[in-house]
């Protein structure tokens, strides 16, 4: 039996009860990849807690989940503030009593030449991508997953997994998360907790449509061997599957979801060399 999901994702192939009785907490859960994961988890039976800084998209996603017959809770929070992280986990546990799946999806970055990235800009990106992610991960692990001796934690990185021009602050932060996923698998497997890094390629989201030109999107598409940009459902389907019992032997690794872009590995044309005078 299949979950109903005409837009794609895990709901087309996983049983509608595969996550029944489980609770998923998703940061950055109101839009884009986070929203798609929340909907996929709900379609497959999970209770869902979504967090983000803007209440409106969170409430909209909750309404979509409830229209599917699922249960969801929206908790507006700035996870850079530790007291708000504590309050987020408080709300999740008060409502559902446990947390089985954590998807660390929240993040933010800006494009800039490396030499123009100030210490303040560097810290802003790393504070959200690394420090805040760790605060949520530790809070969930200590208060829920370690006591219940089970759980699955996801971190979001980037593909390609090397460097991205004008994004060295962001890519270095995401590389830290890839290493964190690997290290936690060595320490927390004894508690039955798995940790996995997901490395999406260029994903066509609402934000991309709003902030980048058609020419830029076409250029990114040309670098993908499969010949198209990814969708949020391409990512959510993999995450929802890996969080299920079918993924129970996967931990400490990075899954690349990019249409072959990382394997292609050739940036062209190469940047021009500036001559010294």
Percentage helix, strand, coil, to 5, in the chain? 50, 15, 40
Residue 252: C-alpha distances to residues 105, 181, 196, 255 (Å): 17, 6, 6, 10
Helix (H, G, I), strand (E, B) or coil at 121: helix
Between 3.40.50.720, 1.20.1730.10, 2.40.390.10, 3.90.650.10, what CATH number should domain 10-257 receive? Answer: 3.40.50.720
Average pLDDT, integer, range 5-25? 80
pLDDT at 151: 98
pLDDT tens-digit map of 196-224: 999 999 999 877 777 778 888 888 898 89
pLDDT at 89 over 80: yes
At CA 185, angle to CA 182 and CA 188, rounded to 5?
Answer: 145
pLDDT at 39 over 60: yes
pLDDT at 136 over 90: yes
Confidence at residue 111, expressed as pLDDT on a 0 to 100 scale? 85
pTM of the model: 0.93
Give me the percent of the chain exceeding a pLDDT of 70.
94
Most confident of 9-13, 109-113, 227-231: 227-231
Contact 159, 257 (CB under 8 A): yes
Confidence of residue 1 (pLDDT cuts 50, 70, 90): very low
pLDDT of 231 strictly over 60: yes
What token pair was written down for 83? 């007291």
pLDDT at 266: 61
Q: How far apart are CA 156 and CA 174, in angstroms?
A: 7
The residue behind tokens 């992280």 is 85
Per-residue pLDDT at 214: 87
Whether residue 187 is predicted with pLDDT greater than 70 in this model: the reply is yes
């Amino acid at each position: 039996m299949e979950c109903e999901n005409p837009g794609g994702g895990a709901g087309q192939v996983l049983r509608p009860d595969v996550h029944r009785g489980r609770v998923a907490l998703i940061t950055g859960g109101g839009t884009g990849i986070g929203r798609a994961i929340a909907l996929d988890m709900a379609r497959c039976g999970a209770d869902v807690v979504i967090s983000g800084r803007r209440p409106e998209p969170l409430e909209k996603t909750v309404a979509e989940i409830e229209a599917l017959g699922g249960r969801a809770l929206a908790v507006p929070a700035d996870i850079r503030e530790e007291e708000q992280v504590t309050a987020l986990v408080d709300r999740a546990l008060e409502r559902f009593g446990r947390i089985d799946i954590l998807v660390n999806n929240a993040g933010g970055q800006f494009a800039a030449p490396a030499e123009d990235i100030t210490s303040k800009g560097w810290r802003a990106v790393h504070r959200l991508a690394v420090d805040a992610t760790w605060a949520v991960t530790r809070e969930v692990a200590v208060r829920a997953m370690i006591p219940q001796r089970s759980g699955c934690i996801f971190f979001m990185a980037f593909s390609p997994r090397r460097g991205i021009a004008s994004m060295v602050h962001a890519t270095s932060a995401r590389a830290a998360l890839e290493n964190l996923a690997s290290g936690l698998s060595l320490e927390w497997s004894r508690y039955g907790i798995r940790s996995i890094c997901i490395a999406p390629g260029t994903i066509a989201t609402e934000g991309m449509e709003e902030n980048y030109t058609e020419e830029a999107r076409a250029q990114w598409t040309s670098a993908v061997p499969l010949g198209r940009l990814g969708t949020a459902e391409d990512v959510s389907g993999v995450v929802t599957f890996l969080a299920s019992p079918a993924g129970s032997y996967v931990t400490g690794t990075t899954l690349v979801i990019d249409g072959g872009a990382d394997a292609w590995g050739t940036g062209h044309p190469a940047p021009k060399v500036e001559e010294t005078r």
